[in-house]
Every structure is written in structure tokens, then in C-alpha cells.
Amino acid sequence: MSTGPHGGVELDLECERCAPGDAVRGRVAPVPKVLAVDLVRVESSPTSTLEFTVASAPPASDGAFALTVPEDAPPSVAGQRCALVWRIRARTSEYPQHADRRQTLEIACPS
């Protein structure tokens, strides 16, 4: 799944759904603009939204990346008031920026 330019960065994931232990693979462009690609856990409730970087890796020279979903990663869930979602973030500086390109990824329950 590809997401169009956002801040000049394009992010393309090979799949939109993974299981714990799987590798999330994709590609970013242009490579010189992307410092790292992060797997981010996002927890939201009526009072706040918190983001936690779970894994991070620099893209290869061709823009390819792979991040491993931790074996103990909880699945994506959404209720009426709270949610836990996973995102891939193409980070353009040392610290995450609001304008960094993000793509939602579903983490499924292991079967």
C-alpha cells in the first residue's frame, strides 16, 4: 500500500497487516530525506494520545526497510473510547516531527 507524498516523502508498505514476529517491509523515497523508519505503538484515550517507538532502522540506499514486530506485541484494537494502533513512521530528523509521513499497520492476534 502506497501513500502519496507528504512533506516530500513517499512511504510504501508491502502489506497492511502483520502478526507478532513478522517483518514489516517497505520502501521510502526520496532516501536522503528519511533518517529512519520507525514502528510506533499509538495508544489513545479520551484524555491523551501517547506514541512509543518500538523499533527503528535506517532505510537502505534503495529506500528498502524491514522492521520486526516484537513477539509480545499486542494486537491493534479500537473501542468506543480507547484504541491501540500501530504505525510506520518515516522520520526526517533525529526526533519525530508532526509532519513525518505515517502509515497505519494492523497487528493481528496470533492464531
> What is the band of 5 on the pLDDT scale with cuts at 50, 70, 90?
very low
Angle subtended at Cα 62 by Cα 56 and Cα 64, rounded to the nearest 5 degrees:
40
Tell me the domains of the chain and their CATH numbers: 2-107 (2.60.40.640)
Checking if the pLDDT of 2 tops 80, the result is no
CA 107 from centre of chain? 11
pLDDT tens digits, one per residue of 37-95: 999 999 999 999 999 999 999 999 999 999 999 999 999 999 999 999 999 999 999 99
Checking if the pLDDT of 102 tops 60, the result is yes
d(CA 39, CA 28): 14
- Say whether 64 sits in a helix, a strand or coil: strand
Dihedral over alpha carbons 59, 13, 87, 9 (to 10 degrees): 60
Question: In this structure, are strands 36-44 and 49-57 parallel, antiparallel, or unpaired?
Answer: antiparallel
Whole-number pLDDT of residue 111: 66
